Amino acid sequence: MNSNMVQRLAHYLSATETRSGEAIGNELGCSRAAVWKHIEVLRSLGIEIHAVAGQGYRLKEPLELLDRDTILASLSSPGGPKLNALVIEGSLDSTNSALQRLPLAEQNATAILAEHQSQGRGRRGRQWYSPYGKNLYLSLGWMFDKSLSELGCLPLVVALATAQALQRAGLEDHGVKWPNDLLIGGKKLCGCLAEVQGDSQGPCHAVLGVGINVHMPVSTQTRQIDQPWTDLHSHLPGFSRNALAALLLEELVGQLSMFDRQGFAPFREHWEQVDILHGKPVEVQSVSDSIRGTAVGIDENGALMLDTGQEVLKLHSGEVSLHKTKL
């Protein structure tokens, strides 16, 4: 797939005006046969395109593509921490993988966003469905002068930054399910992924991925998602993907900087405010077994505290999955 050509086509197509195959070919500098092939690629990526007999092609609904200049212009706090680089791509295997392929010195405070991921992933290797131009797929690199053990709570920090960005966008009633999923009414809106490497005593480098369902199309693929989901459009119709990207970058950069300076202690109060599992019966599953109990918050390192009735266990992110259940 010619990602650049497909991205140019997505920019050129309109939801209000039909574009002829000839006009598209002239714009892209290709034949009408090539135009048809690129149209089919966009359709395979989840973009609905109507073919109007004798006239050409038109988008079913408007498509807001990511724009680097728009995002950068929306970033505030000129005196605060800044990005080193912002990269926007059309289609990638995954934004985390693309960032990890950069030389390590170029990854710190570099953000990559993509319109589409062919191999988007979440925690524990789960696939993250990533249709073109519909959601937000973002990865940010960050260097920490901390040991690996001090970064166990990093997924929680990323989740809290994302929750704050969504609150600034005007979203209400969303909460965080330990360690790093954001839900509304029991349906998943967002997931976060932290991939860390480095020396046991530090320094360490992290690639932090965030996927937010912004305007998820209902399709064969979404019907196969194995958990209830929702999207931002269902709660804040028409909210700009570019505006959301700017809010998310601001919160990530600001809160990661605070975490680097002060550790996890300043984040615990915020966690208590958005924790949707506190006081509820849960089942914690590991690779080999499962434990039932009542979630009673997190400790100073971000570990989940689980009251089994006999003892309070401390469980760390990255080792377990968490599901509500009846005791």
List pLDDT tens digits, range 58-81.
Answer: 998 888 999 999 999 998 765 556
Q: What's the CATH number where 91 sits? A: 3.30.930.10
pLDDT at 262 over 60: yes
Over range 98-124, report the average pLDDT: 89
Confidence of residue 207 (pLDDT cuts 50, 70, 90): very high
How far apart CA 249 and CA 82 sit, in angstroms, is 9
- Residue 125's pLDDT is 62
pLDDT at 325 over 80: no
- Residue 226's pLDDT is 74
What is the sign, positive or negative, of the torsion defined by CA atoms of 128, 129, 135, 139? positive
- Residue 318's pLDDT is 40
Closest CA to 239 of 140, 171, 138: 171
Q: What is the number of structural domains in the chain?
A: 3
Whether residues 200 and 267 share a domain: the answer is yes
Confidence of residue 89 (pLDDT cuts 50, 70, 90): very high
- Residue 322's pLDDT is 53
Least confident of 29-33, 96-100, 168-172: 29-33
Whether residues 171 and 294 share a domain: the answer is no
Whether residues 123 and 214 share a domain: the answer is yes
DSSP 277-327: STTSEEEEE-SS-EEEEEEEEE-TTSPEEEE-SS-EEEE-TTS-EEEE---
How far apart CA 42 and CA 36 sit, in angstroms, is 10
Q: What's the CATH number where 282 sits? A: 2.30.30.100
Whether residues 265 and 287 share a domain: the answer is no
Q: Could you tell me which residues come within 8 angstroms of residue 69 by beta carbon, excluding any fewer than 6 positions away?
A: none
Whether residues 98 and 247 share a domain: the answer is yes
Whether residues 268 and 178 share a domain: the answer is yes
Residue 148: give the domain boundaries: 68-273
Q: Is 216 left (phi over 0), alpha (psi -120 to 50) or beta?
A: beta
Over range 44-63, report the average pLDDT: 89
- Residue 82's pLDDT is 84
Whether residues 231 and 149 share a domain: the answer is yes
| 117 phi and psi angles, rounded to 5 deg | -125, 130
Whether residues 268 and 289 share a domain: the answer is no
Task: Map residue 275 onto helix, strand or coil.
Answer: strand
Please give the model's pTM, rounded to 2 decimal places: 0.90
- Identify the burial level of 73 via C-beta atoms within 10 angstroms of its C-beta, where 0-12 means exposed, 13-18 middle and 19 or more buried: exposed
Task: Map residue 111 onto helix, strand or coil.
Answer: strand
Question: Which of 86-116 are b and which e, b meaning 16 or more Cβ less than 10 Å from the residue's Cβ?
Answer: bbbbbbbebbbbbbbebeeeebbbbbbbbbb
- Residue 323's pLDDT is 56
Q: At what angle do helices 3-12 and 21-28 cross, to 10 degrees?
A: 130
Q: What's the CATH number where 47 sits? A: 1.10.10.10
Q: Of 273, 290, 314, which one is at a domain's C-terminal end?
A: 273
Whether residues 188 and 124 share a domain: the answer is yes
